Amino acid sequence: MTTATQTAEKVRKVLTMGDCDRCFASKERGTIIDTIDPATGLSWCYGKTLAQCREEYPDAEEMSVGAFCAWKAERQRTPIAWTPTTAERFDDMLNVLPPAAGVRGAFLVGEPYDHDAGNGQPRFQGFRQWGKEFFQSNRPLTRAEFRAEIARLHD
């Protein structure tokens, strides 16, 4: 076998994280602990077994990455409610960074809180003012959710 052929064989065998469609996950903590290397069955980053992961995450389980993302997205997409906050908190969050999105009297904080597990879109904490009252969203919103929510509130 030539050096070029040996190199080509090695390249074909190199896996990327994108090749990992299974993971060890903790639903209690709402997180993927690590993806699973399909060649070894061990965690991608640390080479751990499920039993070893359970030493730190007692509820760890093996599942597909897609199933975990669907499970998490379902929990993220709860009904949107607005809870009272102070004018000071509203102003602090408005001025911490340029807003990620905004309309008169409402905005999304400029730094994402997390990402939607179903579609990967960033989610931001929302704030709005109604008259002299100030409100904060009960959960982070994507830009699309924010636009729909503001339209709903103004109908």
Structural domains of the chain, count: 2
The per-residue pLDDT for range 18-74, each reduced to its tens digit, is 788 999 999 999 999 999 999 899 999 999 999 999 999 999 999 999 999 999 999
Mean pLDDT value across residues 141-150: 96
Residue 6 predicted with pLDDT over 80: no
Residues 84 and 146 in one domain: yes
What the block records as the tokens of 110 is: 């400029």
Any domain includes 65: yes
Residues 130 and 99 in one domain: yes
pLDDT of residue 5: 60
* Distance of alpha carbon 11 from alpha carbon 14, whole angstroms: 5
Any domain includes 109: yes
Q: Which of 57, 75, 93 is the last residue of a domain?
A: 75
Residues 29 and 47 in one domain: yes
The residue with greater pLDDT, 43 or 154, is 43
Any domain includes 8: no
Residues 83 and 137 in one domain: yes
Query: Can you give the residue range of the structural domain that contains 66?
Result: 13-75
Residues 35 and 53 in one domain: yes
- Cα–Cα separations (whole angstroms), residue 36 to 12, 24, 42, 43, 58: 19, 7, 5, 4, 18
* Distance of alpha carbon 77 from alpha carbon 57, whole angstroms: 25
Residues 140 and 85 in one domain: yes
Percent over 90 (pLDDT), the chain: 81
